[in-house]
Amino acid sequence: GQQLNQSPQSMFIQEGEDVSMNCTSSSIFNTWLWYKQDPGEGPVLLIALYKAGELTSNGRLTAQFGITRKDSFLNISASIPSDVGIYFCAGSSGGGADGLTFGKGTHLIIQP
């Protein structure tokens, strides 16, 4: 089946630093999504990308849909304590009728 490789697995950073994480796939996706999960909660959608090459921002978050359709990255600028959590990439290859394939997540830890 399809697999997403997400890296890094975890990040230990200082407050105020920028963060970058990415996902690569062995197959093409038509949609890339980035979610954040807080402890004890379900994943919450951060950014959705629908076109190859698309660059989208949501506040301090910026994500890009790779030209090859096999990768995506998420950047967080000027990290703050509430950014702590697990970030997941997810991809969809169908026309909208299938479920999402998730990466294993990037655990972000911020040291004050």
Partner 1 sequence: DAGVIQSPRHEVTEMGQEVTLRCKPISGHDYLFWYRQTMMRGLELLIYFNNNVPIDDSGMPEDRFSAKMPNASFSTLKIQPSEPRDSAVYFCASRLRSNTEAFFGQGTRLTVV
Contact between 102 and 17 under an 8 Å Cβ cutoff? The reply is no
The residue among 28 and 44 lying less far from partner 1, judged by its C-beta, is 44
In whole angstroms, the minimum distance from the beta carbon of 45 to partner 1 comes to 6
In whole angstroms, the minimum distance from the beta carbon of 44 to partner 1 comes to 7
Cα radius of gyration (the chain): 13
Contact between 79 and 59 under an 8 Å Cβ cutoff? The reply is no
Residues binding partner 1 (CB under 8 A): 31, 33, 35, 40-45, 48, 88, 92, 96-105
Phi and psi at residue 2, in whole multiples of 5°? Answer: -70, 145
In whole angstroms, the minimum distance from the beta carbon of 112 to partner 1 comes to 27
The residue among 70 and 107 lying less far from partner 1, judged by its C-beta, is 107
The residue among 81 and 96 lying less far from partner 1, judged by its C-beta, is 96
For residue 74, give the nearest of 47, 92, 52 by alpha carbon. Answer: 47
Distance between first and last Cα of the chain: 40
In whole angstroms, the minimum distance from the beta carbon of 49 to partner 1 comes to 11
